[in-house]
Amino acid sequence: MTDVLIIGAGPAGSTAAAFLVQQGFKVLVLEKQRFPRFSVGESMLPASMHFIEKAGMMEAVMAASFQYKDGAVFHHNGKEHVFNFNQKFTPGYGFTFEVPRDTFDKILIDEAEKQGVEVRYEVEIIAADFTDGKPVVTARNKDGSTEVHKPRFVLDASGFGRTLPRLLNLEKPSDFPVRSALFTQVYDFIPSGAFDRQKILVTIHPERYDVWYWVIPFSNGRVSMGCVGPDDFLQKHQGTPEQRLWAAVAEVPSLKELLKNAKPANPVTEARGYSANVSSLHGPGWALLGNAAEFLDPVFSSGVCIAMKSADLASDVLGRQLRGETVDWEKEFSEPLKVGVETFRGFVEHWYDGGLAAIFFHPNKQEKIQRMICAVLAGYGWDRNNPYVGVGKRRLTALVEASRL
Ligand SMILES: Cc1cc2nc3c(=O)[nH]c(=O)nc-3n(C[C@H](O)[C@H](O)[C@H](O)COP(=O)(O)OP(=O)(O)OC[C@H]3O[C@@H](n4cnc5c(N)ncnc54)[C@H](O)[C@@H]3O)c2cc1C
């Protein structure tokens, strides 16, 4: 009998599967698509490296020759601020990678499979029932046939598919305004020295704090690039998605210059209204991981880190439950997960009101505070020793107000 059925083989699903199989459970991952498959979200955070290591996947990730990443650069109107992750306040990994997600996600799930997880592709979960806390899950195969699974527990790691939130009516609107992203990968042909390939580049629009651009360098001569903004900005440009993205880039002279030799590698994709929330992260017989639960915003590249943190917390609570212990999912899963999610939420809110730009570009920065901010940007959003971590953003707001003066 399957102990745990996991919906989806992205980073949340593959790491949760490894954490559970390592505890001796029988784990089945059902994935709708065939891997490798494209996914947006290519910039990792150093804090994720702890989960990759714990999942026993570090050697395979290290061997993949991904682009080394040790920081983030923020640009606005000729000003630049560089965060070096090795200067962060919180101890732990100070580097990570920029990864084409098709390759990265496949490495992680293949590693989970090598550890004993059963993985099946092109199988989509289409119905779920949890009467009396006993999961009954219906899956549809590629040929249209269906099958029913009765595992002891279900973890939904279906990302933007949001399978259980849809099927169990758990969806709740996000508090954030609707924003969209236009993004692609290009062969960048950026001359060597013009750009630090070991850092993600985030550029704020010259006139608007609510419009920003990412450039994420890979080790294969390509960069991922994208523009995020509200509808009134992204819809004002007419034409194909390609024309609209490049028109948005043309409004930022430094970025236009950096990408002047770029040649398309992928079509331009548009994602709209991706922020999402749910009324509960768990219930009898199920729990939600990663994006299936909540997605805040792409700006600080926190998506995969939160996904892996949720996998780590859930697999610990679930392991104990399956061994017969009484557990409290709210206190031991939801509440600890929310510490980091709320930390990032405060940062996202002050990103879009220009508050973080005031901190980043302030002429007299306090080194210790910068190191604390740097730790959160490196993904250490759960470190209670950092005063900028935790539920509520009072301290960050105070710093923003002081920096705006
Ligand atoms: C514009 C944009 C930019 C982003 N940039 C970054 C970034 O730089 N860094 C970062 O960390 N994050 C980023 N993110 C977020 C990141 O994409 C996600 O947080 C991350 O992929 C979540 O991982 P996951 O494992 O929860 O879900 P996913 O990676 O989405 O995996 C879910 C899997 O579930 C499968 N699935 C879905 N429905 C079903 C079903 N019914 N049955 C079976 N399988 C199913 C899917 O096929 C998929 O393979 C970005 C997001 C957006 C929108």
Domain of 201, CATH number, reads 3.30.9.100
Give yes or no: residues 19 and 143 share one domain. Answer: yes
36 has pLDDT over 90: yes
- Ligand 1, pocket-test mutation among 31, 98, 104, 199, most atoms within 8 A of CB: 31
30, two tokens:
């059902």
- Ligand 1, pocket-test mutation among 5, 30, 34, 39, most atoms within 8 A of CB: 39
pLDDT band per the 50, 70, 90 thresholds, residue 405: confident
Q: Rounded CA gap, 245 and 238, in Å? A: 10
**Distance, CA 266 to ligand 1 centroid (Å)?**
18
Contacts (Cβ under 8 Å, ≥6 apart) of 346: 392, 393, 396, 397
For 16, 33, 61, 285, 310, the CA distances from 24, given in Å and listed in that order, are: 13, 27, 24, 19, 20
Residue having the nearest C-alpha atom to atom 29 of ligand 1: 10
Give yes or no: residues 230 and 296 share one domain. Answer: no
What's the CATH code of the domain at 166?
3.50.50.60
Query: Region 96-104: what's the mean pLDDT?
Result: 98
**370 lies in some domain:** yes
Interval 176-189: pLDDT, tens: 889 999 999 999 99
Give yes or no: residues 219 and 193 share one domain. Answer: yes
**246 lies in some domain:** yes
**Distance, CA 397 to ligand 1 centroid (Å)?**
30
**Distance, CA 10 to ligand 1 centroid (Å)?**
6
Domain stop point among 222, 242, 272: 272
Query: Region 106-133: what's the mean pLDDT?
Result: 98
Which amino acid is it at 326? T
Interval 347-366: pLDDT, tens: 999 999 999 999 999 999 89
Give yes or no: residues 41 and 114 share one domain. Answer: yes
**Distance, CA 163 to ligand 1 centroid (Å)?**
12
Question: Minimal CA–CA distance to 74: which of 365, 345, 380, 270?
Answer: 365
**287 lies in some domain:** yes
Residue having the nearest C-alpha atom to atom 5 of ligand 1: 41
What is the per-residue pLDDT for 174? 87
The pocket around ligand 1, CB under 6 angstroms, is made up of: 7-13, 30-33, 39-43, 124-125, 157-161, 163, 181, 183, 226, 271, 274, 290-292, 295, 298, 301, 303-305, 307
- Ligand 1, pocket-test mutation among 123, 160, 308, most atoms within 8 A of CB: 160
**26 lies in some domain:** yes
**390 lies in some domain:** yes
pLDDT band per the 50, 70, 90 thresholds, residue 391: low
* Domain with 151 in it: 4-68+101-173+275-341
pLDDT band per the 50, 70, 90 thresholds, residue 264: very high
What is the per-residue pLDDT for 134? 98
**313 lies in some domain:** yes
Share of the chain above pLDDT 70, in %: 100
Give yes or no: residues 194 and 312 share one domain. Answer: no
**Distance, CA 186 to ligand 1 centroid (Å)?**
21
149, two tokens:
């699974």
What is the Cβ-side half-sphere exposure of residue 236, based on CA atoms within 13 angstroms? Answer: 8
Residue having the nearest C-alpha atom to atom 18 of ligand 1: 303
| Mean pLDDT score across all residues of the chain | 96
Alpha helices in 118-186 (DSSP H): 163-167
Interval 283-306: pLDDT, tens: 999 999 999 998 999 999 999 999
Query: Region 206-228: what's the mean pLDDT?
Result: 97
pTM, to two decimals: 0.98
